[in-house]
Amino acid sequence: IFHVKMDASGRISFTNFTEGQKVHVLVEMTTTGAGAGANLTWDSVLFNNNNFNQIGTASHGTLYEVIKIGSKLLGKHEYDYDLS
């Protein structure tokens, strides 16, 4: 699992991902990030309806799961964990 603290906008990308591998990414919005309107983008990850709802509230997070099937990276998310 990776824990990303959003202080500013950014992009998440994966390298050396093997078929069948699964990772979890917890994206936590910080006070600085919430104040700046920080926004997350994903490189080559397919989400259902291109929807990956990122929480914008400070001290809250979104948990993402990404798995590689064939040549595709498939993602899903669990929304709004209170991390305070």
Which pLDDT value is given to residue 68?
97
Query: Is the whole model's pTM more than 0.85, yes or no?
Result: yes
Q: What is the mean pLDDT of residues 60-74?
A: 96
Band of pLDDT at residue 48, cut at 50, 70 and 90:
very high
Q: How many CB atoms lie within 10 A of CB 9?
A: 12
Rounded CA gap, 71 and 79, in Å?
26
Q: What is the mean pLDDT of residues 56-66?
A: 96
Residue 50: is its pLDDT beyond 90?
Answer: no
Q: What is the mean pLDDT of residues 45-53?
A: 92
6 forms beta bridges with: 29
Rounded CA gap, 30 and 19, in Å?
33
